[in-house]
Amino acid sequence: MGKIAFLFPGQGCQYVGMGKDLFTNSPEARQVFELADRELGYGLSALCFDGSEQELTKTENTQPAILTVSVAAYRALAAYGIRAELMAGLSLGEYSALVCSGMLDFAEAVTLVRKRGLYMQQAVPEGVGGMVAVLGLETAKVEQACAQARTLGLVQIANYNCPGQIVISGEKKALEAAAANAADLGARRVIPLQVSGPFHTDLLQPAAEKLAQELRTVSLKEAEIPVISNVTADIIPNPATALQLLPQQVKNPVLWEMTIRKMLAAGVDTFVEIGPGSTLRGFVKKIDRKANLLNVEDMASLAKTVEFFRIHN
């Protein structure tokens, strides 16, 4: 077996009930939820397990919720001594990766990502912009679709997820025009995403500035496990660089496909998606059909993953 990478999901994978099984059955996971509730001063656990979907989908709630479930799932897996050689997280998921790599303290991270969510929401008023997934169209044509729509406002590529799936983001009129252009250029589908703003564009500059200010009070340590950055698709060399990249990350495109290719080139053949949902495994499968794909989001998937490593060790 080759190397192991842990992947952490971003916003959009949340669902009511996530993490409850781990909380009930894993003492390591339970500690993470209890710490999150204490740090935030409200019942994040209750919101994850039994909250209303509407509340959970608010960016300032979604971000700490996904981080908490992901770190809880990681701690439940780490209790079995299973470690990765590399880590990465999609957008918000990068914070989960930094926590699990030992670079960022969870107690600091959970309040930080709540603020990140608020700053992202405040940067652009609701309804001004959004994001659209473009399926089945090569990158150059997606670029062209955006370029043709820029007379109407800002629109750009926000996520390079995997071959045939690129997310564009921007101001409403320009975004709608770019999506229509992409369809005319032969996209198989264009799907508006359930997000509250045009994330990973220059419109998020105010959020980047507030986040940079906030990060001045955060202390990072050297990573125990290397983390690949969304912004550079390269290993984050030290805490100082991480502090520079995190504010840029909210307004820069997420280089996810490039990140996975970097891992494959480094000899990774087994990917474990840690946290809610199955989005990231779907992306990896489109990049490399032969990769081993596992996940941890509840006790059943944890047991399956632990069994896989027991057999392959």
Using one digit for the tens of pLDDT, what is the confidence trace for 295-313?
Answer: 999 999 999 999 999 999 8
Q: Are residues 210 and 83 in the same domain?
A: yes
Residues 99 and 223 in one domain: yes
Is residue 200 part of the annotated active site? The answer reads yes
Burial class (CB in 10 A: 0-12, 13-18, 19+), 169: buried
Would you give per-residue pLDDT tens digits along the chain (313 residues)? 899 999 999 998 999 999 999 999 999 999 999 999 999 999 999 999 999 999 998 889 999 999 999 999 999 999 999 999 999 999 999 999 999 999 999 999 999 999 999 999 899 988 899 999 999 999 999 999 999 999 999 999 999 999 999 999 999 999 999 999 999 999 999 999 878 789 999 999 999 999 999 999 999 999 999 999 999 999 999 999 999 999 999 999 999 999 999 999 999 999 999 999 999 999 999 999 999 999 999 999 999 999 999 999 8
Residue of 70, 96, 169, 200 marked catalytic: 200
| Residue after which a domain boundary falls, among 162, 195, 228 | 195
Do both 133 and 117 map to the same domain?
A: no
Q: Verify that 30 and 88 share a domain, yes or no.
A: yes
Q: State the pLDDT at residue 277.
A: 96
Are 164 and 214 contained in the same domain? no
User: Is the Cβ–Cβ distance between 174 and 153 less than 8 Å?
Assistant: yes
Residues 118 and 137 in one domain: no
Contact 281, 55 (CB under 8 A): no
pLDDT at residue 58, rounded to an integer: 87
Q: 97 and 14 in one domain?
A: yes
Number of domains in the chain: 2
Which of 154, 173, 195 is the endpoint of a domain?
195
Instruction: Look at residues 139, 160, 195 and tell me which one is the last residue of a structural domain.
Output: 195
Residues 233 and 159 in one domain: no
Same domain, 251 and 184: no
Residues in CB range of 46: below 8 A, 6 or more apart: none
What is the domain range of residue 189? 129-195
d(Cα 67, Cα 212) in Å, to the nearest integer? 19
Confidence at residue 196, expressed as pLDDT on a 0 to 100 scale: 78
| Domain co-membership, 50 together with 116 | yes
Asked whether the beta carbons of 67 and 110 are under 8 A apart, the reply is yes
State the CATH number of the domain containing residue 100. Answer: 3.40.366.10
Question: Which CATH number covers residue 187?
Answer: 3.30.70.250
| Catalytic one of 45, 91, 101, 229 | 91
What pLDDT does 125 receive?
86
Q: Is 169 among the catalytic positions? A: no
Asked if 46 and 105 sit in the same domain, the reply is: yes
Pair 208, 156 in one domain = no
pTM of the predicted structure, to 2 decimals: 0.97
